[in-house]
Amino acid sequence: MVTAILRGARYGGLWLALSLATTRAQAQDVTPEGAAPSPPNVPAETPPAAVTPNAAAPDAALAPAEAEAAPPTAPVSDAQAGKKSKKKGKEPDRAHAGASTPAGPWGFLARLGRLEPTGRIFVRGAWTRRHEAVVDAAGATRDQRVDSLDVSIPSARLGLYYHPPVKWLTANVEVELTGKPKLKDAWLRSRFRYVTAKAGQFKMPFSALEMESIWDLPLADRGLLHTALVKELQVAGRRPGFALEVHGRGKVRPSLTVGGFQGSVLVDDDPDKRDVDLLYQQGMASQSWVARAELKVHDFVFAAEYEDRLGTPALLVTKYYQTGGVDMTLDTELGRTGLRVWVEGLMGQSWLENWYKPPDGRDATFLAGRLVSAVRFMARRKGDLYVEPYGMLGLLEPDTAVEHDFASEEVLGVNVGLWKIVRAGLELQIQHVERNFPQTYYLGNNPDRMALLLQAGAQF
């Protein structure tokens, strides 16, 4: 009895499979190759609902008997096929594998990673009017106006990015070639979903304008306040160190960056002559510490920052000074017009005071502010022709306890070129300091200056 039931179920199953296969062939007008059309085995009164239009027809290469026995299967994607091959221990389809990894020696090189060379160059012609202290034949010192015309290459850099086979790691080296070649950047960066770590020599995460590349800024150079803040007060700038950033994702993106950077000590009256090696033995006491919190909201970035920086109030002497700031950047497009804005305000402690200020045993407090804005016409993509007028206003109050000691700089200019590839610009610069501005900033030379710059630059 049981045997009869099993035999009946088997024949019933074969009949059902044959009926379904024949019905689908009729619905899709599919006839196996080399086989004559067979009459349908499903009664004419079978309702259309019994037909499954999404099911695949039997393989035409199968014999009619095999087609009857083969169960209907859905199409399999390439990705699913690759997964099935891996599960079975077989190699995936070489046609798809070869599309991502070349065969032969090129495939071996591709597995080692990818090198991306970068570089830029600026060529400048400048007319400058400044004042110099000269000693006449009678031995008296007087202020003399000097006009000069100069052609120079203020910057020529070469860099190399290395992208290893792992997506989370990047390395970069950049060298300045003007004058004596000098290493500018050398770092490793690990980037994950919510965390980014960076170590080596790079810009400290402080001040949006100082973190921005001069190529990305519309300016010909960074100006008077950059020299005062970075070279004299040792705020921001490039240092050996590390930084750890925790950030969110999306159009509203918060982030927090903390880091430590190697300090330096002044070994000469020239602010460019600083030594890092002399401080290595001091360990943690030789580091400047920095923190920066950002909130990116669509095209706006708002930030607050703090730096416990290591300064050098005298030759071979170091001391910690506090600095804080806020800044905002905007980079947006309105139709075929682009708008870029940087604005920041800084406040901190300073050891640079007017020589004639009565000693009070306290550090001076400085204030600084900068505004840069640029309006771009026509360009929306890299390589588009564009015109971009821009301007900058910078103010520095070196000591809040002293009057008539302001420093100011104003810049007006316009750039034309191919967006992010090549540009030529004409820029007017005016710098002025009041009579009580600390002499240490400019080593006795009058920083009042007016200049007209014609500069061309290219980047690859």
DSSP string for 171-201: EEEEEE-SSS-EEEEEEEEEE-SSEEEEEEE
For domain 116-459, give the fold.
Porin (2.40.160)
- Going 288 to 289 to 295 to 298, the CA torsion angle's sign is positive
| Inter-residue contact 271 to 289 (CB < 8 Å) | no
DSSP for residue 57: P
Q: What is the pLDDT along the chain (460 residues), one digit of tens a residue?
A: 434 444 444 444 444 444 444 444 444 444 444 444 444 444 444 444 444 444 434 343 333 333 334 444 444 444 444 444 444 444 444 333 334 455 555 565 567 899 999 999 999 999 999 887 777 777 777 778 889 999 999 999 999 999 999 999 999 999 999 988 999 999 999 999 999 999 999 999 999 999 999 999 999 999 999 999 998 999 999 999 999 999 998 889 999 999 999 988 777 766 666 666 666 556 667 899 999 999 999 999 999 999 999 988 888 888 999 999 999 999 999 888 999 999 999 999 999 999 899 988 899 999 999 999 999 999 889 999 999 999 999 999 999 999 999 999 999 999 999 999 999 999 999 999 999 999 888 765 778 999 999 999 999 8
Strands (DSSP E) contained in 230-315 are: 238-247, 252-262, 265-266, 274-275, 287-297, 300-314
DSSP string for 131-165: EEEEE-TTS-EEEEEEEEEEEEEEEEEEEEEEE-S
CA angle 173, 213, 171 (to 5 degrees): 25
| Inter-residue contact 418 to 405 (CB < 8 Å) | no
- Going 137 to 141 to 146 to 150, the CA torsion angle's sign is positive
* Extents of the domains making up the chain: 2-73, 116-459
Report d(CA 386, CA 224) in Å as an integer: 28
